[in-house]
Amino acid sequence: MPVSVGRCSVRQCALPRALAALLMLLGAALCSAASIHGVVTDTTGAKVSGAAVLLVSNGKVVASTVSEADGSFQILTGISGRFFLVVSAKSFRQLQTPDFFAGRFNSIQRNLVLEPAWVRQSIVVTATGTPTPEAQTSAAISVLGPTDLARHIGLGNELRMMPGTFVVQDGQLGSQTSLFVRGGDSNDNMVMLDGVDIGDLGNEFDFGNLSTTAIQSAEVYRGPDSNLYGAGAMTSVVNMTTPHGTTSFPSLLFQGSAGNLNTSREQLELAGAHKKFDYLGAFSWLQTSNDLPRDQFHLATSAANLGWQPTGNTQIRAIVHYAVSATGVPNAWNFYHVADNATQKNQNIFLSASISNQTIAAFHQSLTYGLVRKREQYSLWKQSGSGAFDAYGDSLGYPVTITGANGYSVSGQAILDYAQKYPYQTQLASNRDEVFYKGDLTFSPHLAALVAFNFEDERGLENVPTYSTHETTQRTNYNYIASVHGDIKTRFFYTLGGSLEHYSLFGTQTSPRAGLSFYALRPRSGAFSGTRILFNFGDAVREPDLTDQFGSLHHFLVANGYQAVANQLHIGPLAAPAVRTYQGGVSQSFFSSRVMFTVNYFHNQFGREIEYVGGRLLPKLVPGLTPAQQQQLASALGFYYADNYGLAVNTEAYRAQGIEADVQSGIGRYIFLRGGYTWLDAVVERSFDSDNEALAGGYEPTYNGIPIGALSPLVGSRPFRRPPSTGYFTATYDAKRLSASFTSAFASRSNDSTFLEYQDANGGNSLLLPNLDLDHGYAELNLGGSYQLFSGLAIFIQANNLLNDQHIAPIGYPSLPMTVRTGLRMGWGIRKHH
């Protein structure tokens, strides 16, 4: 079979393969040609022969070939410029690669992985640190692609459409939105953008002011991943990416929409590529009045992505996102029936600058600098209320009746705002600069290794002028990372790794991880078309956040001149909260991979969790203290001991286990269905926060004899806002001109509190309710679609919360009612996908 470029040709059938390859490279050099080569495999690593590989430039196919019996392919081209590959084979979904630059004499390696035609198995990064087919990992991972995010303002709704996740939004659009994964806390997630950690110090992250503008995809890895990403990756990693320009001419995209509640959103995007450069710029503006008084919200987001490829194997890229938001904070409306006169403003800058190089075919390395600047200002401008006050001048809400999903109810008036100096303001700042080096070496198609080093300098600020509080911190952390991953006969896949981490706040930690998967039945045709067994083990830690650090027992003693007492009683800084996870599961394909069912069991053991324990109990908790030393600590605590105010210590532990089930299937070329269910069994094993009143011999809140955890769950009960049953179902239709999607999320009742401890009109606890099943279960149904009128113009509509369910938010916070947005999408010069 002859292969020719110009006048140069090689007759492969007459020569050994190695010699043929050498002659082809020599021919390419003589003809000033670039060589694009690689191997085509399926998601399990099996070679795919006969796959058609097209090389496309400026919208035209400039060269093509067919993969050999061993899956290998090679294309030679005598032109330089920007290219992408389109690959197709029977029973596989057509693949289009990201574009790349290739110049004369360049040798570009692109290994191609084809996905099954009927189900979705993506190339993922968060599982191993390098691009790896999902089917070759043991990870529990879900991917949100451009189709999933196209019509949505934020990620909140889409994060509900996967197993093991639960999203809590304390109010309506723009309010605090938190992610809980597998029973973990909301700050147990590492949230990343283009490889940079964008969470607050201590990993708090608010999805409520994050726009989908200039976000192309998001991977959600469920499980501990501190071995690759350091402190914070305790129960998940959310890894988002920014698109880049691809067309050889400027392409312009405009989207504009409007809906009820005075909601409007406009977005403009300009992108393109010229020779070695590519560029993208985007801006969006969102505003809404929401459905409550004093709850207006607006969000402006800007983004830019600039790339330069000096050679075919080296890329330099800089990406920046800048977002400014402001929202009203009406508070828990159902508890007061009057809105606070308050606002919260956020300013966030995220920057990623990287250089990556394919040094040799088997070795890739990259160096990334990340910058994060986050500012948050909360202002309660003046005292609000119904006009009624308690004996201390605290303003009260209107008389209300609060009824929980458990059927219990209370009536009364709650304290809304205290009598104090106004405006009451707080400012938080999180600054992070980090440098991350990563090198991955492929020893063979069955073995690869990764080494990495991460250094970060963090600075934080908490300022409360009303109380003359101005606290700052600086943390210097670094991690050494090493892992290997590979397979044995493309049947047994493994990932083994660990990290040695040093944190200035709490010292040195290690985070091992092991992941194994085994194909008991290889993918094939038939009713039972593939069985994969999965196992994962890992440890992970996280840093305390700013509030916990500044509110800790150790910090209190040091800040108030009792450093000697802290040293003498061996009271140190807060330790790192930690988790140990075991996971096992099975993934089964049916009917020639047209249906895939996956079930996972997970067991998380959380320890050294941070809670606020009353001052009267703290002397009894510190181990090994004599009665005289207990009295010494009580004296140092002063009014914190006398009034039983809380300070942060590592005294909580709990367990969370559960089962995740997910099924997906394609019907024909255009319809894709997916559904799932998660059962969660979580229980608090040790806590001194809500229990400290009883333990210290004080007053324990009750409701007709039922003990109540006013501020945190009691020992033996479920953690707050983590329902035992959640589920989802999605159906998408994606044809040439018409696309539509139906998504639904379901949740059972969950434990919670009204948090109105000592908050009734008499300073009592009459507005507390039993924790069990206090939050309502809910069903959220969403429907959207778009229609391409003609090239460059489409109309779309998105309707959320079709059932008008007011209980999607936790107790006290009415959810956003049904909303409908409709709009236009206009594009000029947008490249069509093949």
> Omega of the bond prior to 163 within 30 degrees of 0, cis?
no
- The CB density around residue 670, as the number of other CB atoms within 10 Å, is 14
Extract the tokens encoding 739: 């696309």
Q: Are the CB atoms for 658 and 602 separated by under 8 Å?
A: yes
93 pLDDT higher than 90: no
Task: Quote the pLDDT of residue 213.
Answer: 95
Tell me the one-letter amino acid at 146: P
Instruction: Identify the residue whose tokens are 């129960």.
Output: 235
Which range, of 71-75, 453-457, 474-478, averages the lowest pLDDT? 71-75
Cα separation of 330 and 752, whole Å? 20
Query: H-helix or E-strand containing 210?
Result: none
| pLDDT higher at 427 or 23 | 427
At 32, the pLDDT band (50, 70, 90 cuts) reads low
pLDDT at 194 over 50: yes
pLDDT digits (tens, 9 = 90+) for 494-528: 999 999 999 999 899 999 999 999 999 988 888 88
Alpha carbon distance 97, 116 (integer Å)? 16
Bridge partners, 109 (sequence order): 37
Q: What is the pLDDT of residue 8?
A: 37
Which residues touch 701 (CB under 8 Å, ≥6 apart)? 693, 707, 708, 710, 757, 765, 768
Residues 26-30: what's their mean pLDDT?
46
Q: Which residue has the tokens 């090689």?
A: 10
User: What is the pLDDT, as a whole number, of residue 747?
Assistant: 97
Tokens of 177: 């939105």
Residue 754 CA to residue 710 CA, distance in Å, equals: 7
For residue 292, the Cα-to-chain-centroid distance in whole angstroms is: 29
CA distances from 720 to 232, 425, 634, 707 (A): 20, 28, 31, 15
Rounded mean pLDDT of 14-42?
60
Determine what percent of the chain falls in helix, strand and coil, rounding each to the nearest 5.
10, 55, 35
Q: What is the pLDDT of residues 524-575, one digit of tens each?
A: 888 888 899 999 999 999 999 999 999 999 999 999 999 999 999 889 999 9
Answer left, alpha or beta for residue 100, where phi above 0 means left and psi between -120 and 50 means alpha.
Answer: beta
For residue 7, the model assigns a pLDDT of 33
* Sequence-distant (≥ 6) Cβ neighbours of residue 684 within 8 angstroms: 652, 653, 654, 713, 714, 715, 716, 717, 718, 719
Q: Which residues pair with 611 in a beta bridge?
A: 649
- Give the residue among 200, 196, 199, 162 at the shortest CA–CA distance from 182: 162
Buried/exposed 757-773: b ≥16 CB within 10 Å, e otherwise = bebbbeeebbbbbbbbb
Rounded Cα–Cα distance for residues 95 and 104 (Å): 25
Predicted confidence (pLDDT) at residue 749 exceeds the cutoff of 50: yes
**Whole-number pLDDT of residue 121:** 67
What's the chain's Rg over C-alpha atoms? 29
pLDDT grade for 696, boundaries at 50, 70 and 90: low
Q: Could you tell me the pLDDT band of residue 742, with boundaries at 50, 70 and 90?
A: very high
Q: Which of 89-98, 120-129, 144-153, 431-440 holds the top average pLDDT?
A: 431-440
pLDDT score for 18: 46
Which two tokens mark 286?
A: 């969102």
Q: Indicate whether 33 pLDDT > 80.
A: no
Report yes or no: 595 and 554 within 8 Å, Cβ to Cβ. no
Of 3-7, 40-44, 177-181, the one with minimum mean pLDDT is 3-7
The percentage of the chain sitting over the pLDDT mark of 70, rounded to a whole number, equals: 95
H, E, C per residue of 256-276 = EEEECCCEEEEEEEEEEEECC
Question: Dihedral, CA atoms, 31, 36, 39, 41, nearest 10 degrees?
Answer: -140
**Structural tokens at position 407:** 């059927």
What is residue 292's three-state secondary structure?
Answer: coil
Lowest model confidence (mean pLDDT) among 110-119, 463-472, 814-823: 110-119
Residue 298 burial by CB count (10 A; 0-12/13-18/19+): exposed, middle or buried?
Answer: middle
Q: Is the pLDDT of residue 164 over 80?
A: yes
d(CA 143, CA 153): 17
Q: How far apart are CA 177 and CA 158, in angstroms?
A: 13
Q: What average pLDDT does the structure give for the chain?
A: 90
What DSSP line would sit under 625-662, residue for residue? --HHHHHHHHHHHTHHHHTT-EEEEEEEEEEEEEEEEE
Whether the pLDDT of residue 649 is over 80: the answer is yes
> Which residue carries 């009260």 as its tokens?
396
Residue with more model confidence, 16 or 448:
448
pLDDT at 14: 35
CA distances from 759 to 390, 613, 772 (A): 10, 19, 20
Q: Which residue has the tokens 């600020």?
A: 461
Q: Is the pLDDT of residue 473 over 50?
A: yes
The answer to whether the CB of 204 falls within 8 A of the CB of 186 is yes
Using alpha carbons only, give the angle 291, 295, 300 rounded to the nearest 5 degrees.
Answer: 110
Tell which wins on pLDDT, 773 or 46.
773
pTM for this structure?
A: 0.90
Residue 833: the pLDDT is: 38
- pLDDT band at residue 209 under the 50/70/90 scheme: very high
First to last CA, the chain: 28
pLDDT of residue 88: 87
- pLDDT at residue 17, rounded to an integer: 45
pLDDT of 5: 32
Q: What is the pLDDT of residue 349?
A: 98
pLDDT tens, residue by residue, 394-418: 999 999 999 999 999 999 999 999 9
Phi and psi at residue 670, to the nearest 5°? -115, -20
3-state secondary structure of 324: strand
Geometric angle at alpha carbon 62, from 57 and 67, rounded to 5°: 110
